[in-house]
Amino acid sequence: STTPILHEEPRFSNVFQDGMVLQRGRPLEVWGFGATQGDQLAVSLSQTGNPQAHVSARATVSDRGRWHATLPEPKSEFTGEIMELTLGKVGSSSAIKTLRDVVLGDVYIFAGQSNVDIPVAYSHQFDEAALKKDEALADELGKNGSIRFMIVPTRCGLTQQYHSPEIGRAS
């Protein structure tokens, strides 16, 4: 016997957030949970203030309420522009969820080395001028949005964890 799945409004997976960076120069894979099989969902990435400048795709919903869409590769002119990622039902003029301040750029993953957690400032702890220079550069890059980063806590496990309605939502 299978356990019934409680459905809620469709939503993006927790890896998709306001202020994120999506990899430029390739099609964009987007997914989420909470849909009902048979739902017709649409995902769109558009330039803030210019909804005509966009790429979009329809989402496929599985029997477990998970959905997936592949957006075509956005034009190179979109790189660095402030965008919105929108999830909605096909034919509806209102969005279910809109993620704001999304940009296209280069995404790098740093992992696997024990020293990846050591801040650069650590190497300059005895050189105050170098430390101030690093902090000023970090402030400048952060204020103009040139660099965005996310720290993912280290977790070990042998099974894939899905944050879907039947498991509960991560905050």
**Which of 119 and 42 is assigned the larger pLDDT?**
42
Q: pLDDT (tens digit, 9 = 90+) per residue, 72-94?
A: 999 999 998 999 999 999 988 89
Q: What is the 3 state secondary structure string of 121-132?
A: HHHCCCCHHHHH
pTM score: 0.72
Q: Mean pLDDT score of the chain, rounded to an integer?
A: 81
**Which of 125 and 13 is assigned the larger pLDDT?**
13
Question: Are the CB atoms for 32 and 87 separated by under 8 Å?
Answer: yes
CA distances, 48 to each of 30, 44, 100, 119, 138 (Å): 19, 12, 8, 34, 26
User: For residue 26, what pLDDT is reported?
Assistant: 96
Q: pLDDT (tens digit, 9 = 90+) per residue, 110-169?
A: 777 666 666 665 665 677 787 788 788 878 877 777 777 776 666 666 666 655 444 444
Instruction: Give the chain's largest Cα–Cα span.
Output: 67
User: For residue 170, what pLDDT is reported?
Assistant: 45
**Mind giving me the DSSP string for 34-68?**
---TT--EEEEEEETTEEEEEEEEEEEE-TTS-EE
Q: pLDDT (tens digit, 9 = 90+) per residue, 49-68?
A: 887 789 999 998 998 899 99
- Quick check: 171 pLDDT over 60? no
Q: In what order do the strands lie in the sheet with 50-61?
A: 11-12, 28-33, 67-71, 50-61, 41-47, 83-89, 95-105, 21-23
The residues with which 29 forms a beta bridge, in sequence order, are 70
pLDDT band at 34 (very low <50, low <70, confident <90, very high): very high
Cα–Cα dist 155/161, whole Å = 11
User: For residue 89, what pLDDT is reported?
Assistant: 93
| DSSP strand pairing (41-47 vs 83-89) | antiparallel
The residues with which 104 forms a beta bridge, in sequence order, are 22, 79
User: For residue 141, what pLDDT is reported?
Assistant: 79
User: For residue 20, what pLDDT is reported?
Assistant: 92
User: For residue 168, what pLDDT is reported?
Assistant: 45
